[in-house]
Structure 1
Amino acid sequence: MTQETQQSLTPTPDVTPSTTSLRRLAERRTWPRSFADRLTAPLPGVKALARFAREGAVRPDRSCLEEIPQLPFAPGPLPRTDADTVAVTWVGHASWVLRIGGLTVLTDPVWSRKILGTPARVTPAGVAWDALPPVDAVVISHNHYDHLDAPTLKRLPRETPVFVPAGLGRWFRRRRFVCVTELDWWEAAELRGVRFDFVPAHHWSKRGLTDTCRTLWGGWVLTDPHGQKVYFAGDTGYGHWFEQIGARHRGIDLALLPIGAYEPRWWLRDVHCDPEEAVRAMDDLGARRMAPMHWATFLLSAEPVLEPLHRVRAAWRAAGRARADLWDLAVGASQVIERTADERTADGLSPG
């Protein structure tokens, strides 16, 4: 599907964060029955399903499984942070502990060893649940089981603020969460000075037999009071949304981008980036740093286990980007963005 076709299927309003009014936290809203009109590529039909049944591989070749012990796993203590610090810790897959604006935010938290329809995780969660500080908020990208994990969410206090795609609030309210904020694409809400913008993705949603595209999907841009921005892409294929996100959210300091679960390519191209596409997306976004995710945790597709890491590093070099700006973290590792003395002074703060 061409970019022009994608854009014709999904018209976007001409808005910027500065002109977007904030939605109220925990606002009750009415949504359409289906979001299928937001798809930017058709879901697989009968012919594609038949081809997949005939030739599709869903796991790496057995010879590649010997690479599992080589997967990067380096759990460590969470870094100390303050309201001026942005820090990320990779728990595994699409789960991050994000410290921003003094908040601790979890993205797509999955601490379970096994999820429905998938072999057990090949690396443990990089942060022990008991080692987490109090969780101030959770963001969810979409409702697939590897991103929305009921056993993990059950561990949270029901007062925890949760930010979710349109239509997904009912799932949380049934589980007695009391501060659930549902957003449509290009909408935003704010919690204690940190802005949560929901942005589009090339993906889809489904959790049961009859709920295909009944809830929306997307990513999140979190902005602290000083303007530092972190983009969490969730699950997405490559396409025109990256450029539009970058145009509306200029100066992204860190992009958390998926690089795994991409083979066979004919089957997964529309919904999962490969490593080269993730690096290409950095130019579209205008982002400074990238932290790869969505690999090294669950074996969801057929590429060799370590291939995403090798390919993203090669693509990064080929793009001529600074090696220090590729945060190819091990599961459990952390990285910190500290504001410079000049930035602190500009805000009237002590440079120390």
Structure 2
Amino acid sequence: MTKKPWKRLVTTVLTAALGTPLLLCGSLNGSMASYFKDQINEQRELPKIGTTTTTESSHESSVVTLYPHQRESKLVVTLRVRGIPVLTFIGTKADLIKIRNGQNTQQVQASIDVINRAKVVAERLNELSHNEQFDSENITVSANIKDKSYTIKLSDKELVIIDDKTILSDTTNNLASDALQATNRLRRLMGNALPLNAIANISSTTPGKVKTGIKEQVISLRKGMASWYGPGFHGRLTANGERYNQNGLTAAHKNLPFGTKVRVTNLNNGRSITVRINDRGPYAHGRIIDLSKGAARVIGLMGSGVAPVKIEILGGLK
């Protein structure tokens, strides 16, 4: 098959063996759309896999969807819950070649481990989404000290292991942080349970512990350009699953943990504002933070649209 540059996101329903729909790079809105455009390196259109006719109603009934795509010459599958990316399962270059060259797509799909791993998790979550007795408070996470991985559990039964093959979609490059954030995202999206503050069975001396607060001294991060976003995104879901309020004091950052409080100082006028990170972005070159309209108004960023800023961590996770 001739490889063609990716020109647009194409939605293709892919029916998994047990009925879990897979969507081939479905379109995204807001900062998360920019994230995936930036993250999918050398992306090329993939052949349709097991395409069948699926009714709109049956698609809408699926809370969890899977999106196979290419990243760094590998096949990866991103799991989304209610449209929010939560987990990314990492495959291999060989998997990608199978997808591109496979003739019998059902057999090809069944032979690819990364798709099968993602399907198992998606099917379980879709089942629970229709179970009125399920309480998302039962979604927990614990550490596997021996092999330095983390297990997300449903009522003490393993759902998925966070390791070098399964990470948070917008990874923090720290497995412990990925595991805690993925767990809290699932807790919120599957039933609006309150977030956990720490991973179970991690002692204070265990390396890689996820801290729920930051020391009192301010840690200066860096200087760069800030921008703002507002009307077009008001009311939409942010990357952490809450509704975006353009008049709130929040911001999008590429990798700071959700809930982190950051002081942003406009270096043109000295005005400062404290914001809470609840979204991902910006992805324009040179920009380090994307403020809400309300925060941008306070520090005099509305007129110029962008301005040089200094950002400093002030506190930990909520």
- TM-score (norm. length: structure 2): 0.25
Largest Rg, 1 or 2 = 2
- TM-score (norm. length: structure 1): 0.23
Q: Identify the structure with bigger relative contact order (alpha carbons < 8 Å, sequence gap 6+).
A: 1
Answer 1 or 2: which has greater strand percent.
2
